[in-house]
Amino acid sequence: MLKTTIIAVGKLKERAFVELEQEYLKRLRPYAKVKIIELPEVPYHKEKEAGVARRKEAEKIIKRLNPDASITVLDERGELLSTAEFSRRLAPFEATGREIIFIIGSSTGLDKEIKKRANWLLALSPLTFTHNFARVILEEQLYRALTLSAGKIYHK
């Protein structure tokens, strides 16, 4: 069973996203233990303050990291994988029980310190998504990848 934590800066606010997340977390239960950690966004008013906000968010993220876990950062410049490739990448974590942490930044992105700590930069798509969409897409792809590794058939 996969042990994973999703650290997300920002809260799911819209009901549709909350319901989608609940659905995917329910679907994931037979395949994974998923822990969600929502951290508050640091407000900023001017563009030049965004870097300070990112650093403060990074400090909060770092406090929640398990030093024994593998860190995956969602980043638009990260590696693009098919669902089958994603499934194969998750297999060692399923087999060993080692935790994998996925980090989703706020609208200002993630501080370079978080990216330096990452074992893997993962892109969900070349398209840009809101952080709410990215979170639900990650959960859906975790479900799809884990059902694939469990021998379930899905539409390719």
**Each residue of 37-53: pLDDT tens digit?**
999 999 988 888 899 99
65 vs 4: CA distance, rounded Å: 12
Question: What residue ranges define each of the domains in the chain, with the CATH number in brackets?
Answer: 2-149 (3.40.1280.10)
pLDDT averaged over every residue in the chain? 94
Q: Please count the other Cβ atoms lying within 10 Å of the Cβ belonging to residue 142.
A: 25
User: What's the confidence (pLDDT) of residue 72?
Assistant: 98
Give the predicted TM-score (pTM) of the model. 0.95
Query: What pLDDT was estimated at residue 46?
Result: 87
What's the confidence (pLDDT) of residue 153?
Answer: 74
Say if residues 154 and 148 touch (Cβ distance below 8 Å). Answer: yes
Three-class secondary structure of residue 129 per DSSP: coil
Confidence band for 154, pLDDT divided at 50, 70 and 90: low
